[in-house]
Amino acid sequence: MATVLLVEDEADLCNLIKGHLEGDGYTVVQAFDGPTALTLVEQHRPDVIILDWMLPGMDGLAVCRRVRQSHLMPILMLTARSEEIDRVLGLEVGADDYVVKPFSMRELLARVRALLRRVTLDAQSPVSGGQAAEPLASVAGAASAEADAATTTIVRGPLRVDPAMHVATLDGAELDLTPKEFELLQLFVEHPGRAFSREFLVERIWGYEYDGFERTVDTHITRLRKKLGPLGDKIITVWGVGYRLVL
């Protein structure tokens, strides 16, 4: 079963959630503050993170933003803030879902299961001949999934991306993309709905040795949007974070 990083500073609540998660078969790693959570993310590479908004040392939004610079695992935020603007802010910094306190354990467990199912589905892409890629059992196996994706055609509506041939088509017409534009598009279509920070994109697409400015990302996104035509509007700007593809 999957590993869950549970970040909650209220010890009693944290232990209660931990007990229910373990009862559902998950391995649970606990953190009670923001900095510890970041350390445990690197040590354990959890499959999903349950992250409280209000934390000592570093709040949940800051933790979420930092995690999203390097990792793609689902993040479920726990918050006592029920206002729409607060929920939107959490999603915009990279959270995948949220639960408002007080909540039922049944709902929490259902949302965790839903996030893990979505990760598995995102890892499956149509393959030539009508076959499907093997499901990804864990986000921690992302490297293996990327290797599989190298021979997989990804289909998102009218958009088809073939990593092996390095060809992308829209409504059957081949797109004239530069290598970096293609890599950006491939990353977006492999993880639709996921927000990527500019820092992450620079490191992922250009490499850690690249010392250019983040404005380079904005320039490439602008060009990619134009080449995608009306579909370019589906690459949306996420305030304070970066970009997300919504299909």
pLDDT of residue 137: 38
Tell me the two tokens of residue 47: 């499959």
- Residue 199 has a CB neighbour count (10 Å cut-off) of 17
User: 192: cis peptide before it, omega within 30°?
Assistant: no
- Residue 229 has a CB neighbour count (10 Å cut-off) of 12
Q: How many alpha carbons fall within 13 Å on the CB side of residue 80?
A: 4
pLDDT of residue 7: 97
CATH architecture of 153-245: Orthogonal Bundle (1.10)
Report the alpha-carbon angle 78-84-88, nearest 5: 70
Residue 232 burial (CB < 10 Å; 0-12/13-18/19+)?
middle
Helix (H) / strand (E) containing 59: none
Span(s) in the chain for CATH 3.40.50.2300: 3-121
- Quickly tell me which residue has 């289909």 as its tokens: 155
3-121 adopts what CATH topology?
Rossmann fold (3.40.50)
- Does residue 133 contact residue 123 with C-beta atoms inside 8 Å? yes
pLDDT of residue 179: 87
pLDDT of residue 49: 97
Identify the CA nearest to 51 among candidates 74, 72, 24: 74
- Does residue 214 contact residue 181 with C-beta atoms inside 8 Å? no
Span(s) in the chain for CATH 1.10.10.10: 153-245
Tell me the average confidence (pLDDT) per consecutive run of 10 residues in the chain, 247 residues long: 93 93 95 96 96 89 89 88 64 82 88 82 44 37 44 85 90 92 92 83 68 75 94 88 85
pLDDT of residue 222: 93
The pairs formed by 127-134 with CB atoms below 8 angstroms and a separation of 24 or more are 127/151, 127/152, 127/153, 128/153
Q: State how far the Cα of 84 lies from the Cα of 88, in Å rounded to an integer.
A: 6
pTM, to two decimals: 0.55
